[in-house]
Structure 1
Amino acid sequence: MNHHPKPAGEGLRTRVFQIIFESDTPLAKGFDIALIAAILTSVLVVMLESIESLRADYGTWFFWLEWGFTIAFTLELAVRLYCLERPLQYLKSFYGMVDVIAILPTWLTLIVPGAQTLVMVRLLRTLRIFRVLRLMEFVGEGRLLVGALKRSSHQIFLFLFTVFMLVTIFASIVYLIEPREAGFTSIPTAIYWAIVTLTTVGYGDIVPVTPLGQAISVMVMLIGYSIIAVPTGVFSAEVIRSIRADRYSDEACPGCGHDRHEQRARYCLRCGTWLDENTPDPHLSDKAQEAWWQAREEADDDEEEPPPAR
C-alpha cells in the first residue's frame, strides 16, 4: 500500500514533519543520519546477542541496549504519529508495520508471563532485524529497483515455472531409474536433488549411482549454468529501461527528429536546434526573439478562434 504522509497542521507539527519525513534541510538530514546509525547499531546488537559466548559475558549490556533502542524507536514512532494528518493510515503502510514489528517483541516481555513463554518471545526479538528494512526509505534508487522488479515479474514468474517443470521432469526420471539405496526414496526427495544439482550447489548427500542417472546429472548441471543468467538479464534490462526513462526525454527534435535527449538538454545533440518549444532560443537577437513571441501569439489566437459555421 503506497502512502504519502501529510502534516497534521501548521505550527509545531509541520516543523516536526519536515524534520522527520523530509530531507531537504540540514536538520532533517541530520535526523536521517542519526536514525540510520541507530538502526544499524540495533541490528549489530541483535547479531552479537545471538553469539552464545558474548551473550554469557555481556548479557546485561545487551539487555539494557535492547531496551534503550526499543524506547528510542517507540518515541520516534510516537513523534511520527503526532505530526501526521492520518496516523492510522501510516500504521497500515509498509514502514508503519515495520516500525511496530521492530518494537513489539521487547514490549511483549512485560505482559507475557512464564519462563517458557519468554523463550518464545526471545525468538520473536529476532524480528528487530526488520529495522534494516527502514533503510530502503532513505535510498532513492530503491523505488527504481522495486519498479523494475514489478515490471519484470511476469517474465521471472514464467522463467521460474519453466525451471520447476524441468526439475519435476528430471526428478521423476531419476526417481524411476535410481535404486532406493542411493537416497531417491520419493519424488519430492528427487526434486530436492534436482534443485541442488540445477543450481550447481552440489551438497553430495544424494547422488545418482547408475550411468544413466549420472548422465542426467551432467545434463541438469549444464542446463543450470545455461539458464542461471536469464532472470538477471531480464531484471537488468528493466533497470536500464527505467534509468533511461528517468534520464532521457521522448520528445523529438523539431530540426532533425532525434528523440533521445537528456531531460535537462536545451539543444539537440545532433543538429543543435533549440528544444524548448515554449521559449525562444536565448542566443537569438532581441528582434528575432520578439518575432518569435509574435508568431507564438498569432498561433495561439488561431487555435482559440472557433471554426466557421457551415
Structure 2
Amino acid sequence: MSSEQKKSSFRHRLHEIIYEADTNAGKVFDVVLLAAILASVLFVMLESVESFDTKYHTFLNIAEWIITILFTIEYILRLIAIKKPWKYVFSFYGIIDLLSTLPKYLSLIFVGTHHLAALRALRLLRVFRILKLARYIGASNRLLVALRASRAKIAVFLFFIVILCIILGTVMYMVEGEENGFTSIPRSVYWAIVTMTTVGYGDIAPHTPLGQLIASVIMILGYGIIAIPTGIVSSEMTKTVLDVNTQACPSCLKENHKDNAEFCYNCGSILNEE
C-alpha cells in the first residue's frame, strides 16, 4: 500500500470515528466527548460559586485545562479527517467547537473570559447523532425545512405585527399620556409589544378606563396572534417528508443522506471509500 493510500485509509478511519455515529468506535468517541462536555460545563458553573471555587480552585483550573487541551486535539483531528477542512471550520458545529475551545486560552490575556466556556453546552446538540435518535433528527430537519419554506410568510406576519404595535402604541400614548407612564411613542410601542406578546412586565400600565379597554383587546388579540406562526410552520411541515441517517460526507460534511446512499447529494463525493 502506497503512502497516499495509507493516508487516505487513515483519514477514512478517522472520519468514521469522529463524524459517524453508526460504528462502535464512533459511538464510544461521541459518548466520551459528551461526558467531557458535561464535565467542562459543570466545572465552569461550579467555578462561579465563590465558596466552592475557593476550596477547589486548583483542581477546577487543572481539570479545565486538561479538557481544553483534549478539545484542541479533537478540533485538529476533525480538520485532518476531512478533505476540505474549511467546510468544517465555517460550519455551525465548527464555529461552536472553536468558540468552546478558545475561552481558556483567552483567559491568559483577558481575565474572566474562561466563563465563556459554558458555550460548550451547545455541543450537546450532538446527542441526537450519538444516540441515533433518527426520528428526532428527522423531526428537527423537517422543522428547519419548514422554517425556510415559510420564512417569507412569517416575515410578512412579523412586519404586520410591528405596524400594529406602532399604531396601538401611538393610540395608547394619546389616551394615557405622560402622567400615566406613557412618556413617549417609543415607550408606548414597547408597552404594546410587551402586552401583545402576553409577557406583561407591569412596569407600565394603563390607568384610564379607555386605556384599560384597549389593553384588554390587545391581550386577547395577542393570544390569537401567537397561534399564527405555529400554523404557518405546521402546514409546511406536513409537506416535508425526510428519511435521514447519521452519515456525514467526508468532503463537505453534509448530513441527512438517504439510507444506502453511495454519493453525497450536495457535492457528489463517494460516501464510503473502502
> Shorter-chain-normalised TM-score: which range?
0.7 to 0.9
Does the CA contact (< 8 Å) of 1:43 and 1:131 recur in 2? Answer: no
What is the RMSD computed on CA atoms of the aligned residues? 2.8
Aligned with residue 170 of structure 2, among 164, 169, 172: 172
The reply to whether residue 239 of structure 1 matches residue 237 of structure 2 is yes
Aligned with residue 80 of structure 2, among 82, 86, 110: 82
Three-state SS of the structure 2 residue aligned to 1:220 is: helix
Aligned with residue 152 of structure 2, among 151, 154, 176: 154
Work out the CA distance in 1 between the residues paired with 2:84 and 2:117: 29
Change (3 A) 1:59 1:18: same
Return the offset for 1:53. 4.1
Q: Deviations over 1:139-176 (max 9, x none)?
A: 63332222121112112112211111111111111111
Work out the CA distance in 1 between the residues paired with 2:46 and 2:147: 33
Work out the CA distance in 2 between the residues paired with 1:143 and 1:152: 14
Work out the CA distance in 1 between the residues paired with 2:186 and 2:213: 20
Does the CA contact (< 8 Å) of 1:70 and 1:106 recur in 2? Answer: yes
Q: Which residue of 2 aligns with 1:60?
A: 58
The reply to whether residue 190 of structure 1 matches residue 183 of structure 2 is no
Change (3 A) 1:154 1:28: same
What are the ranges of 5 or more consecutive residues in structure 2 without an aligned counterpart? 245-274
What does residue range 263-274 of structure 1 map to in structure 2 within 5 Å? none
Return the offset for 1:122. 4.1
> What code does the residue aligned with 1:198 have?
M
> What code does the residue aligned with 2:123 have?
R
Q: Deviations over 1:260-308 (max 9, x none)?
A: xxxxxxxxxxxxxxxxxxxxxxxxxxxxxxxxxxxxxxxxxxxxxxxxx
What does residue range 199-278 of structure 1 map to in structure 2 within 5 Å? 199-243=197-241, 246=243
Does the CA contact (< 8 Å) of 2:97 and 2:120 recur in 1? Answer: no
> What code does the residue aligned with 1:75 have?
I
What is the aligned-residue identity percentage?
45
TM-score (norm 2): 0.76
Change (3 A) 1:236 1:80: same
Q: Which residue of 1 aligns with 2:12?
A: 14
Q: Which residue of 2 aligns with 1:284?
A: none
Three-state SS of the structure 2 residue aligned to 1:231 is: helix
Return the offset for 1:234. 1.7
Identify the range of structure 1 (210-219 vs 45-54) with the bigger mean alpha-carbon deviation: 45-54
What are the ranges of 5 or more consecutive residues in structure 1 without an aligned counterpart? 1-6, 248-310
The reply to whether residue 118 of structure 1 matches residue 111 of structure 2 is yes
Work out the CA distance in 2 between the residues paired with 1:239 and 1:155: 14
Change (3 A) 1:171 1:69: same
